[in-house]
Structure 1
């Protein structure tokens, strides 16, 4: 804590609120330290979330690209089924058997394709997860711009800079920027949870036991993370809130 009476000379009488008065320079110095402490943790969290949301969106996009194919008819499998039926008919004719003994292909090109319920659920969950992840990345980019604009030093006299800083601070509090930044991890966790649910539904037709094992692993991991939070984060958040209330 600086002694601003020694750092800045005393103002002449009746000039205590002049553009270059000591009160404005003191306010500017104090606000720079306060804003740096308030924004530092939020900026680091936004950077981490932005990287993770980008990587997670790329992973989910790969799964969505593969899963979305099940929403339309698989003409490759349909052609293979008809070709297998044609070969079976030729073999039946060559052996003197009747064509009626050959099993007909289950596919009908003239019928309307209806995807399975599991495919609809998997695609719905994964598309929702992808949208939430991209939304998190978008809000993180906007929040990073807000934080950069808030900490940018304005030009002008100390009084003008103090007024601009106070105007920014009031807008910062009015739009609850720190609350929005704090909700970004929650949005990312929701996207992860929805993706894991979709992965379990995707694994059920392949191997039911594997899907149950995977579901319990995810459940135990989330329980462990939720019941053992990092105390240092809460202490730091309390310190920042305390600094805001005392400013």
Structure 2
């Protein structure tokens, strides 16, 4: 080897990018791993603290009172009573509201016919005119009576709904039971069923009066009304008979339970 070669400085070999990348990746991975460990420890400590706080709060709450058999009984009673009362209120409130609407419309129709044939009473009225006018007045009075009973029925339901609205569970339950017994004693359901019966009677009287009046004007027109009235009344009797024969019949009417009780079993108090 020559002197020139020996005196030449040694130049280090440059590292390639492939040799640097693994070193950088390993450093980043270690840093990420350390950060993940720190975060996991922090989350675990927070969960532990939250659990301790939750237990402390639960410990500060007063223990749930132990209910005796009497309290459990009245709570169960009021729960079942509320379900029954809600169905009871909804059924009869709907029936009475429907009756009021029908009575209002029917009263207007009856009044119009009364006004129409009123002049015939002032000039030598015949017996048929007198009968027709009398039936119309009875029909109108029956409708007004049904309206009055429907209004009273709504007030009675509101009075019953106010039963047991204050006080302890036991006092409310006893008050409610007292009023329920009063409903059965005074036949409250049967009284409310009079409203649709009066409306049905008013409709029958009206169609009868209309048939009698039209007979004095034109027999053919009166005959058509009589036939239609007979068909309607006959259909009603058929449906009423099916309800009396079979309690499962869907064609129940207010009169059906009363007749079924009178015909088959005088002890069917629950049906009335």
Same fold judged by TM-score > 0.5?
yes
Instruction: Please list the CA deviations of residues 141-160 of structure 1 after superposition, one character each: whole Å capped at 9, or x if unmatched.
Output: 11121122212352111111
Instruction: Please list the CA deviations of residues 127-177 of structure 1 after superposition, one character each: whole Å capped at 9, or x if unmatched.
Output: 000010111111111112112221235211111111211121122112211
Task: Write the distance in 1 (CA, Å) between the matches of 2:122 and 2:232.
Answer: 35
Bigger radius of gyration? 2
Change (3 A) 1:9 1:64: farther
Aligned partner of 2:146 among 128, 132, 136: 136
Task: Write the distance in 1 (CA, Å) between the matches of 2:84 and 2:66.
Answer: 24
Task: Write the distance in 1 (CA, Å) between the matches of 2:166 and 2:94.
Answer: 26
CA RMSD of aligned residues (A): 2.6
Counterpart residue number, 1:34: 84
1:202-241 paired onto structure 2 within 5 Å: 202-228=213-239, 231-232=249-250, 234=252
Task: Write the distance in 2 (CA, Å) between the matches of 1:169 and 1:133.
Answer: 29
Aligned partner of 2:67 among 11, 22, 26: 11
Q: Secondary structure at the match of 2:166?
A: coil
Q: Secondary structure at the match of 1:210?
A: helix
Aligned partner of 2:129 among 119, 142, 147: 119
Counterpart residue number, 1:107: none
1:139-178 paired onto structure 2 within 5 Å: 139-152=149-162, 154-178=165-189
Counterpart residue number, 2:199: 188
What TM-score, normalized to structure 1? 0.67
Q: Secondary structure at the match of 1:139?
A: helix
- Structure 2: state its 5+ residue gaps: 1-63, 244-248, 258-268
Shift of residue 30, structure 1, vs aligned partner: 1.4
Q: Is the 8 A contact 1:11 1:22 kept in 2?
A: yes
Task: Write the distance in 2 (CA, Å) between the matches of 1:49 and 1:145.
Answer: 15
1:50-65 paired onto structure 2 within 5 Å: 50-65=100-115
Change (3 A) 1:233 1:216: closer
Counterpart residue number, 2:31: none
Change (3 A) 1:135 1:119: same
Q: Secondary structure at the match of 1:232?
A: coil
Matched positions, count: 186
Deviation beyond 4 Å, 4+ runs, structure 1: none
Change (3 A) 1:206 1:233: closer
Instruction: Please list the CA deviations of residues 219-241 of structure 1 after superposition, one character each: whole Å capped at 9, or x if unmatched.
Output: 1122223324683354xx99xxx
Higher relative contact order (CA 8 A, sep 6+): 1
Q: Secondary structure at the match of 2:217?
A: coil
Counterpart residue number, 2:120: 70
- Structure 1: state its 5+ residue gaps: 1-7, 74-113, 239-243
Instruction: Please list the CA deviations of residues 189-246 of structure 1 after superposition, one character each: whole Å capped at 9, or x if unmatched.
Output: 1111111111011101210111011101111122223324683354xx99xxxxx96x
Instruction: Please list the CA deviations of residues 5-59 of structure 1 after superposition, one character each: whole Å capped at 9, or x if unmatched.
Output: xxx96435xxx54xxx232222211111112223322221111111101110111
